[in-house]
């Protein structure tokens, strides 16, 4: 039995790694909603131009439809492939629930937290990236917290979880700053350009602006 165990263990580890790799493979999980984002539109236009240079005439609508069709087929294939392993994953808690770096985001959101004691004067309490090591920086950059607001940066609508997170964060800020009457949270859209692209001029575009007022304030 001892002589067989190393080989058996290696086989089991290989099986687990295979299914993890299948689940983490960055397959295109795309829908119409994803294809309406600015980044997707730019990619579609770029591929239409590339195929035109190769002598393949197509339209943006055709590229979008074909991309969504490929995404659906690839996801169906993965579901069938990993189906035998899903029950084992649920028992031992060994699932892989996220893809490996599916795509870079050229429009990330820079988190900005501001506060005011009244009037039109707002003070910046946190602006990403902030390396001062303060409590606010440690709070918003904690990996389980960052996933809430960072995931909303390129979404047309951030969702209920983002709103609840803003309320939670505002309460912490109010507790630490008794003089503040309002807290404002936003995600400034930053445009990332490669060296061969022209630089972006003008200020960042604020998105998903949310304000919270201290309870009991006049």
Where along the chain do its domains lie? 5-92, 109-213
Higher pLDDT, 200 or 171: 171
Percent of the chain with pLDDT over 70: 89
Whether residue 24 has pLDDT greater than 60: yes
Task: Kindly report whether the global pTM for this prediction surpasses the value 0.85.
Answer: no
pLDDT at 186: 92
State the average pLDDT for the chain.
Answer: 82
Kindly report the backbone phi and psi dihedral angles of residue 75, in degrees, each rounded to the nearest multiple of 5, phi listed first. -70, -40
Q: Round to whole Å and give the CA distance between 83 and 136.
A: 42
CA angle, 65 then 153 then 127, to 5°? 160
Of 79, 102, 82, 78, the closest CA to residue 16 belongs to 82
Contacts of 66 (CB under 8 A, 6+ apart): none
- Residues with Cβ within 8 Å of residue 125, at least 6 apart in sequence: 113, 114, 115, 136, 173, 177, 183
Neighbours of 204 (CB within 10 A): 15
Q: Which residue has the higher pLDDT, 92 or 213?
A: 213
């Amino acid at each position: 039995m001892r002589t067989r165990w190393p080989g058996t263990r290696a086989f089991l580890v290989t099986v687990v790694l295979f299914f993890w790799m299948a689940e983490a493979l960055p397959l295109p999980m795309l829908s119409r909603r994803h294809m309406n984002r600015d980044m997707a539109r730019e990619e579609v236009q770029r591929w239409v131009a590339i195929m035109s240079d190769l002598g393949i005439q197509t339209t943006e609508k055709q590229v979008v439809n074909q991309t969504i069709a490929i995404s659906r087929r690839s996801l169906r294939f993965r579901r069938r492939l990993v189906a035998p392993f899903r029950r084992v994953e649920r028992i031992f808690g060994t699932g892989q629930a996220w893809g490996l770096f599916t795509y870079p985001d050229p429009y990330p959101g820079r988190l900005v937290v501001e506060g005011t004691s009244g009037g039109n004067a707002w003070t910046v309490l946190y602006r990403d990236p902030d390396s001062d090591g303060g409590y606010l920086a440690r709070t918003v950059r904690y990996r389980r917290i960052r996933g809430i607001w960072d995931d909303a940066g390129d979404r047309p609508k951030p969702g209920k979880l983002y709103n609840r997170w803003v309320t939670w964060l505002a309460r912490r800020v109010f507790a630490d700053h008794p003089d503040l009457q309002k807290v404002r949270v936003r995600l400034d859209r930053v445009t990332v350009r490669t060296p061969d692209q022209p630089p972006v001029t003008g200020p960042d575009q604020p998105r998903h602006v949310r304000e919270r007022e201290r309870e009991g304030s006049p």
